[in-house]
Amino acid sequence: MSADTKVHAPGEFVPFALPEGLSEPEKLLAAYFSSARVGLCVLDKDLRYVAVNQALAEMNGYPATAHLGKTVREIIGHFTDCAEALNRILLTGEPVLNFEASAVMPHKTEVSHWTGHFFPIKDDSGAVTRIGVVVLERTENEKLKASLNEVTRQLRSHVARLEMLLEISSILAANWNVQQVFPRISARIRRVLRQEYAGFALHDVSTGVLVGQAEDFPLRKGLTPSGQVPVEGTPGGLSLKEGAPRIFSREQMQTFRSDGASHLIAEGLQSLCCVPLQRPHGPVGVLTLGSTRQHAFQPEDINLLSQVATQLAIAIENHRAATEIEGLKRRLSEEKKYLEGEIRSQGLFVEIVGESPVLKRLLEEVATVAASTASVLILGETGTGKELIARAIHRMSRRKDLSFIKVNCAAIPTGLLESELFGHEKGAFTGAIQQKVGRMELADGGTIFLDEVGEIPLELQPKLLRVLQDHEFERLGSTRTIKVDARLIAATNRDLARSVAEKEFRSDLYYRLNVFPVHLPPLRERREDIPLLVRYFVRKFAQRLDRHIESVSGETIHALKDWSWPGNVRELENLIERSVILSEGSVLRVPISELRREGMHLASQASSIPDHTLDTAEREHILRVLRDTSGVLSGPNGAARRLGLKRTTLQSKMQRLGINRRDYSQSRDD
């Protein structure tokens, strides 16, 4: 190599040593045909290929030899812009540079993108006889660009979906009550999936239906259908049974004969997506999305909605658990308060006192029935110790370590008795400012003692009967069924059989209560227990009052044993307490004379009827209403309603005025 030899960089123009070589450009093109990486060809005046390299042949999808003699249109098809550019070169003799084009070649299925440079090739006279073409293919670049755009689109979509899941998670973390926050969740999903309808339902295992909890349907045109749909024969039910998401077209929706599916079709929905709310123990419900667009939901949307459904299911379980825990806390708190109150009020008896044969037989019956789960009806006069026997049954039963809840049905006003027994929801009635757990629910697993059960009004008796038969009830103001397992012990001093005959007490409830009746003997039938009871009460009250009572005279004991004791053990207890207070020495001083005077006064009061003009008029008016209502006291057509009184107030007036059933039943019979 000489010193004058110059090394040129790749792509640098190298001038020809013989300038006349430029008069034959096709020779120059021919020199690059086999080695150039760009497409090269030469066209004649009729735009036929006279030369073509392998690179351009591959671009066009034809073998190089198949190009020769054929026109551009025959090879690349009808491409008007390209033909005009080539013809313009023949007319003007000016080159066309950077001609960009995109087209689907006849023998290819995808779009090709390329940039062309068209040069005129002139003869010695300067006329254009041929055209040189240089083609740079941009298809791979366009593919890369399109691929990049698609990746960018997918990335943005993925980010949007992740943001949606994160926001839904934040919403549910702030409030587990899915019913309340569902419209916000649906609105967030709508920004990604563009659905018009969203709703979720929970599966009620006891009834086998899907119970709608919340819906978001801003474009609804018709009325909202029933909130309950069966599992069988519904899109949501099918997804629930299969435990897998399902996408339904309008045609598939029409195959279901349920009212819910028909309603959604009538609203114009064209596609539906149902996703079960999965938990480890199985699906708890279904999330449903609907759209007025066909094929609105794609398989890739199922994974997203499954993640949303999982979040909803977890929130539902958390809310249920929190509600149950809060209910248990409230129940335990109320039970503790109630039991503390019961402990303070039960100081009348700490054990059963007596050795009479009739009492021993009674305790044998108590021991027999205590081991079972049967309902017990304790019958006896007032003051005979019915609550004490009920507690003894509970302590000897298998439920002894659980709650013993007492309800005095006569001490609670009629309007509040249902709430006291079964509880109420917030807002169930005026004054219900918060949820209340009823005594029946507090007694779950233990024993409930209904004292004075004969005072339960007729309208409330069917609800108590349902608890005895089906062990379930609903709180006042609620439709949710509560299961309860409580043993019932009832007590009354009324003749329930007579009340049944007089239509004042339901016969079916009476038979359910009277599974094992226990009759408590009055104190006058076990007089031999009176000395033991006196000694017990003297010791009890003397210790409480800091007195020192050492003896009771025999005369006093004989007098106490001869007394009829209409108030039974309670009357004896009250008398002994008063006697301890009056006693100043070591001998018990019992005011026997006061006891007799009191008895005479009560007998006189019971046999007399007020003879005042106003009382007489009131008595006659009440009797007329009682005759008109056939003796029915409560209820919408009862005497209390007509008189504008409470049932308990009417009963109090009847007792004060000496009105009994014979006064109005005999007149009616006459």
Strands annotated E in 428-561: 436-437, 447-451, 472-474, 481-483, 487-492, 516-519
CATH number of 19-137: 3.30.450.20
pLDDT at 346: 41
The pairs formed by 98-105 with CB atoms below 8 angstroms and a separation of 24 or more are 100/138, 102/142, 103/76, 103/77, 103/79, 105/60, 105/61, 105/76, 105/77
pTM of the model: 0.49
Q: What is the Rg, in whole angstroms, of the alpha carbon atoms belonging to the chain? A: 50
Output the CA–CA distances (angstroms, integers) from residue 394 to 19, 439, 447, in the order listed.
126, 16, 7
Tell me which CATH homologous superfamily contains domain 155-218+226-320: GAF domain (3.30.450.40)
User: 19: which residues sit within 8 A by CB, 6+ positions away?
Assistant: none
Burial (CB count within 10 angstroms: exposed 0-12, middle 13-18, buried 19+), residue 517: middle
pLDDT at 3: 44
Other Cβ atoms less than 10 A from the Cβ of 161: the count is 19
At the top level of CATH, the class of 346-519 is alpha beta
User: 331: which residues sit within 8 A by CB, 6+ positions away?
Assistant: 437, 441, 442
Could you give phi then psi for residue 626, rounded to 5 degrees?
-65, -40
Per DSSP bridges, beta strands 436-437 and 481-483 are unpaired
Report mean pLDDT in 10-residue bins for the chain, 670 residues: 42 36 49 64 91 86 87 80 86 89 74 85 88 82 70 79 88 86 90 90 86 85 69 88 92 86 87 91 90 89 90 88 79 55 42 85 90 92 90 90 90 84 83 83 92 90 92 88 92 89 90 92 91 89 87 85 88 90 86 67 50 66 83 81 79 79 59
Alpha helices in 123-177 (DSSP H): 139-174
Residue 239 and residue 286 in contact, taking contact as beta carbons nearer than 8 Å: yes
Strands annotated E in 317-453: 376-379, 404-408, 423-424, 436-437, 447-451
The pair of structure tokens assigned to 654 is: 């009847």
Scan for tokens 């789960």, then name that residue.
373
**What is the third-level CATH fold of 523-607?**
Helicase, Ruva Protein; domain 3 (1.10.8)
pLDDT at 340: 45
pLDDT at 139: 65
